[in-house]
Amino acid sequence: MRTVPIVISFLIIACQQKAAQPADKMELMKAYEANKVVLVFTGKDNGGSIDLTIKNNSKQPLTIVVPKDTMRFDLTAIVISIVSSEKTEFTLSNDGERTLTFPQSGETRFRSGSITTM
């Protein structure tokens, strides 16, 4: 009868260790290309800026790194270029999301409405 409490204790410890796994760390563009995130672009200020909602599409926590750089997203209907003036890093839970606002650059700009990647 002593084996039952030991087995239960082992299962509890194993589950706690699995829950404490560190989040994968990826740059935004690599996470997008690997289908780890879904992106929602929402035009603002008649094309002057854009809200970018980043939704975790993986089954585990994910740390996203947004580099200080211009990023270009080639979507089917439009090319969206956004400018990040500083490096940003944050962690999303397995079903988490975060919205950031960026200025747009480039000749074509997303002026209004929203578009979602899959």
Domain parsing of the chain, residue ranges: 22-116
| Measured distance CA(51)–CA(74) in Å, rounded | 17
Residue range 17-40: average pLDDT?
A: 84
Side-by-side strand order, sheet with 88-92? 24-27, 62-66, 88-92
Q: What is the pLDDT of residues 12-26, one digit of tens each?
A: 555 454 555 667 899
Q: Angle at the Cα of 56 (from 54 to 60), degrees rounded to 5?
A: 155
Q: Quick one: 51 exposed, middle or buried, by C-beta within 10 A (0-12, 13-18, 19+)?
A: middle
Q: Angle at the Cα of 101 (from 95 to 67), degrees rounded to 5?
A: 80
The structure tokens listed for 1 are: 């009868």
Q: Which of the two residues, 109 and 35, has the higher pLDDT score? A: 35
Q: Given a cut of 70, is residue 40 above it in pLDDT?
A: yes
Residue range 69-78: average pLDDT?
A: 87
Q: Which CATH architecture has domain 22-116?
A: Sandwich (2.60)
Query: Please, which pLDDT band fits residue 79 given cuts at 50, 70 and 90?
Result: confident
Q: In 3-state terms, what secondary structure has residue 114?
A: strand
Q: Given a cut of 60, is residue 52 above it in pLDDT?
A: yes
Query: Please, which pLDDT band fits residue 105 given cuts at 50, 70 and 90?
Result: confident
* Mean pLDDT of all residues belonging to the chain: 84
